[in-house]
Chain A
Amino acid sequence: MSMDLSISRFWRKKEIIYKLNGAKCKSCGKVHYPPKNACPYCGSRELELVELPRRGKLISYTTIYAIPEGARHQSPIYYGLIDLGVTKITAELTDIVNANSLKKDMEVEATLRKTQEDRDAGLIYYVLKFRPVLVQK
């Protein structure tokens, strides 16, 4: 039996999870994701939400085999550190057929996917994940 995710917690964060909304500091100008109450660089609480670029470059990744029950069928999960230019973020990678294809600086882009499901009857949780770009620019 698995632990269900918090419905209310996920709902509160949907703007950030669905749209890749980061926070830009009005004081030092730096961008971070996910948005915190204060800028992690200068401590200012003057922040504004900004939509982050949907394409970036893979810096590194890790492979996770210990998966929560609600995502067991997605195992293994590849988790990437991605450079979006304005900031670096961590996110799930998807459509990875072979880990050998994951190279530093490979281009990745955001798309909506399921991250977890609360058993057969519970809620389905959707997030933006990153996959190898479909069309090179």
Chain B
Amino acid sequence: MATPKAGIHGWGAYIPIYRLPLSDIAKIWGWHPDQYKGLAVESKAIAGPDEDSLTMGYEAAYNAIKRSKIEPKKISAIFFGTESKPYAVKPSATIIGEALGITPFTMASDLEFACRAASEGMRSLIGMAASGLIDYGLAIGSDTAQANPGDVLEFTAASGAAAFVIGRTSNASAIIEDSVTFVTDTPDFWRRASQPYPLHGEGFTGEPAYFYHIENAVKALLERNGLKPSDFDYAIFHQPNGKFPVKVGQDLGFNMDQMKDGLVTPMIGNTYNASALMGLARVLDKAKPGQKILLAPFGSGAGSDAYLITVTDEVENRKPLAPTVEDYLNRKVLIDYASYAKSRSIIHVIK
């Protein structure tokens, strides 16, 4: 069976201006000063008091549409992947679609699969574009990641967004040649309905969840395409911290040269649905025509996707049309724990 192919026409990212040094979290909660050092993350990006996953997703999508060089009205599907929805019931996808001038003849929904919901949106759009059901679709990954204050998860839970316009292969910046999804029922991380913060099943976080699913998805992709790690110029993995993506990459046979450009978590923390996808945005900011990219997002619960992506000549025309991930990484203001606590509604206020 021929694999349906689709194209990435535009890509965009967004990182809020504020950064909280992890040393501040350790100090406030009385962690050992070296507690977070093993995570290989120094500071995390924090959404401002007037931001949420919707506003961040809007800007990433705005940038992606600019790079796609298409009219917003040509987009006929919006999938918004997040685990920090502003509304439990009321789609963010319609608000973003309306604000960007995409609606009304548009499929639009918010997807949930922990950190890989947006990637599920991308896989759906590949099929929809390849089949001719739509000309263009928009997949957005955006999160203002929550963590129970004082929990070790708080060191990395960060804010950011990434978005991609996906359509047919002609005139695309990159071609998605193939993709694989691998999911199982795994109790590594969850947030119950109406609970403000997630919990993690300690023993399940690493090997049974992150490593098991990513390795299976990537191995299946390599095997069915007759490829080996050295055939790729870039390898990008989901980044819950700075350590896991490097280890899973090395275990699979990739080296640091292939992985370094797709790593953003060491600078801004884990942006959940935007984590691996922002890595892809950063790689597309730098990639040259003909280069091959392996992308493997992961979501708890649990599942991983593996994508085989080839960059086209068109990428060079699209790069200057919107701010790069580097532009957002360089724009930063350090804040303290108090500002972060107010910004992220950790301080309880009676309204």
Contact = CB atoms under 8 A, between A and B. Distances in A.
A126 B351 contact: no
Contacts of B99: 18-19, 112, 126
B330 to A, nearest CB: 9
Interface string B31-61: 0000000000000000011111011001100
B54 A126 contact: yes
B328 A74 contact: no
A114 B349 CA distance: 18
A95 B17 contact: yes
B313 interface: no
A97 B15 CA distance: 16
B142 to A, nearest CB: 12
B342 A73 contact: yes
6 nearest A-B pairs in the assembled complex, by CB-CB distance: A18-B99, A119-B351, A113-B50, A112-B58, A114-B50, A74-B49
Contact of B51 (A14, A114, A134): A114
A129 interface: yes
A2 interface: yes
B181 to A, nearest CB: 31
Contacts of A74: 49-50
B59 A111 contact: yes
B86 A124 contact: yes
A109 to B, nearest CB: 10
A73 B49 contact: yes
Contacts of A60: none
Contacts of A72: 349
A134 B349 contact: no
A94 B17 CA distance: 11
B333 interface: yes
28 contacts: A14-B98, A18-B99, A19-B99, A19-B101, A69-B351, A71-B50, A73-B343, A74-B50, A94-B50, A95-B48, A97-B17, A97-B333, A111-B55, A111-B59, A112-B55, A112-B58, A112-B59, A112-B99, A113-B50, A114-B50, A114-B52, A119-B351, A124-B52, A124-B86, A126-B54, A126-B95, A126-B99, A129-B50
